[in-house]
Structure 1
Amino acid sequence: MNASMLPYILFSCLLLSVQAQNCSFREIIRHTKLLPVSCPCRETAVNSCSCLPIAEPGHELACFVEGTEHMLKHSISSNAVVERLNLSFQIQLDRNLCESLARGTQCQYKTKGNVKEFLTKILRTYQEINIHNLKKLKKTPIIV
């Protein structure tokens, strides 16, 4: 290996480490914004279409998987988009890609909310990851 390759290798390692922590936030934010909001949460209803778990900190991924599975089962929104979100969340949970969002594989929540509240939780969670990663990138010196 010659010396001119070192900056390239270091930069590549930096990008890979950021990608491993970014939890596919861009794709999830984009897909979440595409979903329409409908169906109020009525926990007393026998077959409430959209009472979805609002995750406790550290249990977001498990709750996002559970919530999107519920949305698919009840055809609450565009199935193609919800399927992509569900798959992304499931992969992140299975591969432990977002450690701060997955302290376990069980969804833990104190409240349930409607589709809008559930999607807002997803958006805020991944926007915070995005902001955190951008700050981390700005602080990381590039060695040339």
Structure 2
Amino acid sequence: MNASMLSYILLSCLLLSVQAQYCGVREIIRYTQLLLDDSSVSCPCRQTATSSGHELACFVDGTKHLKENTPFNRVIERLSRTFQAQLDRSLCKRLAHSDQCQYETKGNVKEFLKKILTTYQKIEKFNA
């Protein structure tokens, strides 16, 4: 194995390890705050389970539900794609990756968005 091949392998491993930790925390916080400020976004949403291990699956389900019950909104679309990518690729190791969300109660969109916001603010604080 020559030096250039070894360098390529090391760089690839480094990029994969960085990507595995990618949560898009700042992006998700920014999108969530935009949606909280947007009074036109509303729907009957399921509130996420408080037991850990299901948060990401709940965020995926909740944003899908928002997309289906809200006129097209670019921010909801981006947020939904980000959560789905995190779940599909096992990104953001700070959140457990269960395939199914266990809902406790019905809530409103503001409660759902606040749950997303506080979850990712905790991750941001932990990473700081």
Interval of TM-score (by shorter of Structure 1 and Structure 2)? 0.7 to 0.9
**Shift in Å, 1:22:** 4.1
State how far apart, in whole Å, the 2-side matches of 1:132 and 1:100 are. Answer: 9
Give structure 1 stretches of 5+ with no counterpart. Answer: 2-8, 40-48, 135-144
Question: Could you give the per-residue CA deviations for residues 25-73 of structure 1, whole angstroms, max 9, x where no partner exists?
Answer: 011011111112454xxxxxxxxx3222323322111111111111111
Which of residues 61, 64, 80 in structure 1 aligns to 2:74? 80
How much is the aligned-residue C-alpha RMSD, in angstroms?
A: 2.5
Does residue 20 of the first structure (1) align with residue 20 of the second (2)?
yes
Cα pair 2:46 2:103 within 8 Å, conserved: no
With over 3 angstroms needed to count, the CA separation of the structure-2 counterparts of 1:112 and 1:101, relative to structure 1, is farther
With over 3 angstroms needed to count, the CA separation of the structure-2 counterparts of 1:124 and 1:22, relative to structure 1, is farther
TM, length-normalised to structure 2? 0.76
Cα pair 1:18 1:133 within 8 Å, conserved: no
State how far apart, in whole Å, the 2-side matches of 1:26 and 1:16 are. Answer: 20
State how far apart, in whole Å, the 2-side matches of 1:18 and 1:120 are. Answer: 27
Q: Residue 67 of structure 1 aligns to a residue in which SS?
A: helix
**Shift in Å, 1:20:** 3.2
Q: Which residue of 2 aligns with 1:110?
A: 104
Give structure 2 stretches of 5+ with no counterpart. Answer: 4-9
**Shift in Å, 1:16:** 6.9
- Percent of aligned pairs sharing the same letter: 59
State how far apart, in whole Å, the 1-side matches of 2:17 and 2:67 are. Answer: 32
Which of residues 116, 124, 127 in structure 2 aligns to 1:130? 124
Cα pair 1:54 1:109 within 8 Å, conserved: yes
Report which of the two structures shows the higher radius of gyration computed on alpha carbons: 1
User: How many pairs does the alignment contain?
Assistant: 115
State how far apart, in whole Å, the 1-side matches of 2:29 and 2:97 are. Answer: 22
Q: Which residue of 2 aligns with 1:62?
A: 57
State how far apart, in whole Å, the 1-side matches of 2:93 and 2:22 are. Answer: 11
TM, length-normalised to structure 1? 0.68
State how far apart, in whole Å, the 2-side matches of 1:101 and 1:89 are. Answer: 11
